[in-house]
Chains A and B, each alone.
Chain A
């Protein structure tokens, strides 16, 4: 082990190429993971921020707001279901927004929510014509008190505060009361306006097990609704499912490539050191100790590469202007990427184990290896 560490210190150049490759693979793992997290969080924050235990959609909507309609009769059935303590409309529409002092063609895409049960961090439904805004709108220059003009009719919405982590479909959100939402949709998107008392979905709070309550609600409405927890809405999203599967596959193959690269590099190094290992074995070194040295070298190289890769991934997050790429690097993602690389290092080294075990100490005194 000591010799292995000494070699690393005395001949660092010999390992430079491997560190460079592992750094790039580490950066790639973090970039891919960061893109996946950025896509998922940016796309679903407004859902996961819901304080409500359940969201009720119409059964044919595929749990999509725009395709869902809950009429007043169905809403009454939901409200009367055993265990339901509160219900509130939850609607959303996409609009272009003009911020103060921006050019006439300089618009920001926003999702305007109409709500009755406040999500985490959002206050009670504000007065008519007012809204809370997601902090990403502040990053684009909006301030509290600003009046934002939304839609083709330039409907006025006054920002009364900012809330964190409520983006939806990678866009900033505005949170208004249901009446404000309805009047803005009626003015700007008449084809999407809802009838009196109709909502796209219902946010529902319950007592007891939410999943059991969801089953009771769907049974009570005769199967005309699909009721899911906020986490269930995200999981049921086919887009999220396919992006998780695709990125998961790409990340898995990248780890496999790291295993092959590490295996290749240490197989070459072990072949080069066969004579030296023969001498060490002749002097009493055990195969286990020699292999432990190889593993230690691989782990140290991987850790160094991981450190550089993390720095690169963090630098990328700082360098990317907001909105250019949906990239979000979390500590969990860094830890899982480094863990995957370390695992790849150990597995990759295992390919050299057989060669280390096969070395004959007699080779040190001229015998065959």
Chain B
């Protein structure tokens, strides 16, 4: 053990380089994991963190709330399904606004019943009570969406006042939750030529004791033009979510292979290079187990310090915004990858450990050692 630490101190350059490589890899993985989770939250946070357990969209919307239209007859049919206890209207529109002195697009979500489509993660302020009041996403506060800020819907100039803030309620853009009446005002302010404004979705509360899956099956039996999903199903199956997850999975798989390969190759080469010394140590009575333990200690220290470097690089970035994407420091993600990389790093050193175990002390008298 003592020798292991001494060796690291004497060959500081090469160990620092390995720690730097692992640190950069860890940083990239954590950064990309934060982007992946941030992207998904930006796409569907407003679905995950609203109160309706079941949402019904039109099938042609392909599970995109803003692209759905539900007419009055369909809403009536949904309300008459046996397992449905209550329904409410929901709408979503992307509107041009000025906020914080800048022109930008926002997503405005309207609900006719706050307990069936309203935001569930309100952290400060209150829900809208009168026309023109909205709840904004907490992460967008610095962009002109803090409590008390006024947002102006263009081109009509309709003012919206932020009266509350909720976490993770974005839907592709900075998002505002408001009453359905204010939502229709926003649609008209955005497009004065708009025809009839129908709800984009119907929020449904199942009868007591009826599961979301049961009620969605009964509603979907009404016909092929309605698409009923539970909150989590809609969040999971919204456009872009699966693509994001698959793309990042491919990247993570490659990183998952690169880290142990770099660590394993390094310690294998180092083991070959100190073959003579290791043989000599065995010849003077040092047990193989002690040498393997030293190797594992080095791997643990190197991967551990690499993790520290990676996390330290990731920490300041994890509170930043990339465009619309709010990044977050997610402890569970950091712990998952740290354990995975430590385990993979230790496993990768097994090849080097096998070489150490194969050392025959008698070779000290013949000049051979760890063979290649």
A33 CB → nearest B CB, Å: 12
Give chain A nearest CB distance to B182 CB in angstroms.
Answer: 15
Please state if B105 and A64 are interface contacts (CB–CB under 8 Å). yes
Q: How far is the CB of B233 from chain A (nearest CB, A)?
A: 14
The B interface is mostly helix, strand or loop, or mixed, namely helix
**A residues in contact with B101, CB < 8 Å:** none
- B residues 3-55 near A (Cβ < 8 Å) are 13-14, 17-18, 20-21, 24-25, 27-28, 31-32, 35
Cβ-neighbour of A62 out of B103, B254, B257, B264 (below 8 A):
B103
**Which residues in window 147-163 of B have CB below 8 A to A?**
154-155
Residue B232 at the chain A interface, CB threshold 8 Å:
no
Contact between A250 and B31, CB atoms less than 8 A apart: yes
Give the nearest-CB partner of A35 in chain B.
Answer: B247
Taking CB atoms and an 8 Å cut-off, the chain A residues in 89-106 that contact chain B are 94-96, 98, 104-105
A336 beta carbon closer than 8 Å to chain B:
no
Q: A191-B93, A191-B191 are in contact. Are A28 and B258 (CB under 8 A)?
A: yes
Decide if B69 is an interface residue (CB 8 Å cutoff): yes
In whole Å, how far is B333's beta carbon from the nearest beta carbon of chain A? 17
B258 touches A25 (CB 8 A): yes
Given known pairs A191-B196, A246-B322, A324-B243, the reply for A69 and B155 (CB within 8 Å) is yes
Are A67 and B190 in contact (CB-based, < 8 A)? yes
Known: A109-B239, A260-B17, A324-B246. A104 touches B224 (CB 8 A): yes
Pair B187/A191 contact, Cβ less than 8 Å: yes
Query: A152-B60, A191-B196 are known contacts. Are A28 and B254 too (CB-CB below 8 A)?
Result: yes
Q: Do most interface residues of chain A lie in helix, strand or loop, or is the interface mixed? A: helix
Which one of B27, B35, B239, B270 contacts A268 once the chains associate, using CB atoms below 8 Å?
B270
C-alpha gap A65/B162 in the complex (Å) = 27
Is there an interface contact between A268 and B28, defined as CB atoms closer than 8 Å? no
A325 and B28 form a contact (CB under 8 A): no
CA separation between A183 and B76, bound complex, in Å?
27
Can you name the residue of chain B whose Cβ is closest to the Cβ of A185?
A: B195
B58 proximity list for chain A (CB < 8 A): 152
Contacts of A245 in B (CB 8 A): 322
* B96 surroundings in chain A (CB, below 8 A): 60-62, 64, 67
Contact of B59 among A31, A67, A107 (CB under 8 A): A107
- Option from A14, A96, A243, A326 in Cβ contact (under 8 Å) with B372: A14
CB pair A263–B17 under 8 Å, yes or no, is yes
Q: Give the contacting residue for B14; candidates A17, A59, A151, A264; CB below 8 A.
A: A264
* Chain B nearest CB, measured from A70 CB (Å): 11
A264 x B18 contact (CB < 8 A)? yes
CA distance A18 to B225 in the complex (A): 56
Cβ contacts B245-268/A at 8 Å (1 or 0 each): 011001100110110011011101
Bound-state CA distance A29–B323 (Å) is 23
Which of A117-125, A172-180, A192-200 faces chain B? A192-200
A24 contacts which chain B residues (CB < 8 A)?
254, 257-258, 261
Provide the B55-97 mask, 1 if CB < 8 A to any CB of A, else 0.
Answer: 0001111101001010000000000000000000000011110
Closest A residue, CB atoms, query B17: A264
Q: Say whether, besides A69-B155, A95-B60, A152-B58, A193 and B194 are in contact (CB < 8 Å).
A: yes
- Give per-residue flags for A66-86: 1 if the beta carbon is below 8 A from chain B beta carbons, else 0: 110100000000000000000
Q: Kindly identify which residue among B61, B95, B262 contacts A261, using a CB–CB cutoff of 8 Å.
A: B262
Give the residue name and chain of the A residue nearest to B194 (CB).
A191
Query: Are A192 and B60 neighbours in the complex by a CB distance under 8 Å?
Result: no
Contact A241 B261 (CB under 8 A): no
A64 and chain B: residue at smallest CB distance: B105
Q: Are A256 and B254 neighbours in the complex by a CB distance under 8 Å?
A: no
Contact among B18, B195, B270, B322 with A193 in the assembled complex (CB-CB below 8 Å): B195
**Which residues does chain B contribute within 8 Å of A107, judged by CB atoms?**
59-60, 62
Per the bound structure, the CA–CA distance linking A189 and B68 in Å amounts to 9
Q: Which residues of B contact A (CB under 8 A)?
A: 13-14, 17-18, 20-21, 24-25, 27-28, 31-32, 35, 58-62, 64, 67, 69, 93-96, 98, 103-105, 154-155, 187, 190-198, 224-225, 227, 239-240, 242-243, 246-247, 250-251, 254-255, 257-258, 261-262, 264-266, 268-270, 272-273, 322-325, 372
Known: A105-B224, A351-B17. 13 other contacts (CB 8 A): A13-B372, A18-B265, A58-B155, A60-B98, A67-B105, A69-B155, A107-B60, A190-B195, A192-B194, A253-B28, A268-B266, A272-B272, A324-B246
